[in-house]
Amino acid sequence: MAGLSLDDEEDGIIHLEREATNQEISYVNCLVGVFLTSSVVHFQEMRSTLASVWHPIGGVSISDLGKERYLFRFYYEVDVERVIKNGPWNFNSHLLILHRLQQGEDPLSVQLHWVDFWILIHDLPIGFIADAVAHQLGNFIGEFIEYDSAAVQLGYKRIMIVRVKVDVRKPLKRKKRITLKNSESVYPQSVDVFKWDISLQAQSRRNQSWKSKRLVEDE
């Protein structure tokens, strides 16, 4: 070692080439999400709570991507579909905005502005509990997805339940003038957002060592 010396002079430039690869990160059965809050979200409490409440058959791994975004990786199609269908979800009263990733999408740049809500519309005129009316009112509130046809039997209560994709950047519209065929105008007086599950409360911080059996650790 004593006989070695360092040469500070450059002996030409080494040209490096990036090796072409077709390998991409797979986001099959993955959701990316962000919480609609300016407060700190306690990651360990959140991941254990959501894994326990969602109770996925194949488990779920939850990763912190940074920039207040989280990746939820499921291992069965039925699990990710059930989470989407039964949403929206929240943790400690912070609404969770979720998006199902498609291949080629960047989880750090995909827009997270839309949430699917079930909306309860009151005071509809008798005889107007119908599919066409559901589409019109749903598209007024946001973007119509479906309506609960099983609730048609509650038509005598003059209510309708529709599922709507809502842009969280915009205020929720609460009433709309409706013109009937006889030129009479009416206002449905109330629009209620429900199925926003408020049961996802964090465990006491004294129990931080608790971990759901449904939580899968990334390797």
3-state secondary structure at position 8 = coil
Please report, in angstroms and rounded to a whole number, the separation of the first and last CA atoms in the chain: 41
Radius of gyration of the chain from its Cα atoms, rounded to whole angstroms = 25
Instruction: Give the torsion sign (CA, 64, 42, 40, 102).
Output: positive
Place of tokens 């409490």: 45
Residue 66 — left, alpha, or beta (φ > 0 → left; ψ -120 to 50 → alpha)? left
| pLDDT for the residue 158 | 77
Q: pTM for the complete prediction?
A: 0.72
Residues 6+ away with beta carbon under 8 Å from 79:
29, 54, 56, 57, 58, 60
| pLDDT for the residue 189 | 44
Residue 214 tokens, joined:
């449904």
CA–CA dist 124, 159 (Å, integer): 6
Residues 6+ away with beta carbon under 8 Å from 128:
178, 180
Residue 4 — left, alpha, or beta (φ > 0 → left; ψ -120 to 50 → alpha)? beta
Residue 4 tokens, joined:
């070695």
Q: What is the pLDDT along the chain (219 residues), one digit of tens a residue?
A: 556 665 666 666 777 666 655 567 889 999 999 999 999 999 999 999 999 999 999 999 999 999 999 999 999 999 999 999 999 999 999 999 999 999 899 999 999 999 999 888 887 777 777 888 889 888 988 999 998 877 666 555 778 889 999 999 888 776 666 666 655 544 444 555 544 443 333 333 334 344 555 666 665
